[in-house]
Chains A and B, each alone.
Chain A
Amino acid sequence: MDPSEVEFLAEKEMVKIIPNFSLDKIYLIGGDLGPFNPGLPVDVPVWLALNLKQRQKCRVIPPEWMDVEKLEEMRELERKEEAFTPVPSPYYMELTKLLLNHASDNIPKADEIRTLVKDIWDTRIAKLRLSADSFISQQEAHAKLDNLTLMEINTIRAFFLDSLNCMYKLRSNLQPGSATGQFTDF
Chain B
Amino acid sequence: MNIQEENLRLVPSVVLLSVLVGAALLTAGPITGETVRIFVQSTVPYGIIAIGLYPVMIGKHIDLSQFAIADLIGALIIVGINTQLPIAMIIPLVLLLGALIGLVNGIVVARLRVHPILTTYCMSLIIKGVMFIITKGRLVYLDSLDFLQVGKSTILGIPTPVMTLLLCFAGVMYTVHLTILGRKIIATGSNGRASFFSGIRIDDVKIIAFMISGSCAALAGTMAVAASGSVATGLDLSVNLSAIVIVVLGGTDLLRKGNPLGLIFGLLLFWILERSLIQYGIDEHYQQLFKGIVLLMVILANNGFHQLLEVSRKRPGSADEQNQTLEHSR
| Bound pair (A, B) | no
Q: Which B residues fall within an 8 A CB radius of A?
A: none
Q: Which A residues fall within an 8 A CB radius of B?
A: none
